Amino acid sequence: MKEYQYFDAVDYFQKKLNVICMALGIDGYNVSAERKLDAVNAREVVISAMAGPVGAATATITYEISVYTNVPDEVMNMLNELARTESGKTFTSEMETTNNEVLSFSIIPSYMTPTIMDRDLEIGPNHGARVIQYASFGILANVLDVKDITYKGEKVEVAQSTLNFVAQLSANNKSGENLMKSTSTGAALSLSLTIPSQSGLLALDIISVMAGAKDKNYQFNISLRVGDENGVTIDKTYIMSTATINSVRGSVPSLQATFAEYDE
């Protein structure tokens, strides 16, 4: 039986860092699960799994990425690029259980910013530094999540999305029955999005409606896909019901908007 693990973290990080190093034009770093004390060139990445909750259907694993280097600025660029390109990028992995079952998992990574922890470490004949970064991986089997949101053909980068379906019920209590049964007399669909407050087709149209430059019933044609290529695509026309620009000094501004399905 294969080792009981959700994915091979050393192989995963090695492949990701190889691509980033090539793009940045720097020499590659060797990734391993433990530090090689006889390393001379000090281009070493150590991946350590930390404690995390494991449930019946989900798990969260956090890894500490420790880089031992003589060029900490180079490592900071490498790890910042890792966080920028891989955060939120879902990938799938298979795991063999003790019952010889093969389960497919969706894994969603989230990265912290890197930090220089120790300077003037003795690494062979050299002196270097240790740079660390934390990465958490949310793991769920057969996940159904909103994968893509597009507006006017442009992909929308979303921090959070909520799709609501609300039905208006009519209760009917037949004679001789103690419990009432319900039927739906009407239903409504609404979509709430939180996006970075930066230039984009959706953000500019939202602000234009808020400013009165576009009609209050301006139609937003938004498409979202739930699940993978075999999932469900929801294409709807909405009008905006609420919108808020959250701007806090020292924090990244965000734009929150709620849309109700348009009655054509």
pLDDT single digits (tens) 98-114? 677 777 788 889 999 99
Q: Domain of 64: which CATH number?
A: 3.30.2000
Buried b (16+ CB within 10 A) or exposed e, 188-197: eebbebbbeb
The residue from 109, 141, 173 where one domain ends is 141
Query: Domain check: are 53 and 90 in the same one?
Result: yes
pTM: 0.68
Residue with tokens 């449930």: 55
Residue 25 resides in a domain: yes
In terms of domains, do 13 and 131 share one?
yes
Please compute Rg for the chain using Cα positions: 25
Asked if 19 and 106 sit in the same domain, the reply is yes
Mean pLDDT, rounded, for 170-189: 78
In a domain, 2, yes or no: no
Per-residue pLDDT reduced to its tens digit, 54-64: 766 678 889 99
Residue 120 shares a structural domain with residue 185: no
Torsion of the alpha carbons at 189, 159, 141 and 94, rounded to the nearest 10: 140
Answer yes or no: is 4 within a domain: no
**172, 102: one domain:** no
The more confident residue out of 91 and 84 is 84
| 252 and 174 belong to one structural domain | yes
CA 172 vs CA 102, 188, 255: distances in Å: 47, 21, 43
pLDDT tens for residues 199-209? 889 999 999 99
Q: Which residue range forms the structural domain that includes residue 84?
A: 9-141
102 lies in the same domain as 162: no
| Strand blocks (E) in 36-180 | 44-49, 58-69, 91-96, 102-111, 115-123, 126-141, 146-151, 154-155, 160-172
107 lies in the same domain as 183: no
226 and 166 in a common domain: yes
How many Å apart are CA 62 and CA 48, to the nearest integer? 9
Cα dist from 251 to 135, 219, 254, whole Å: 22, 31, 9
Name, in order, each residue with C-beta under 8 angstroms of 197's C-beta and a sequence gap of 6 or more: 203, 245, 246, 247, 253, 254, 255
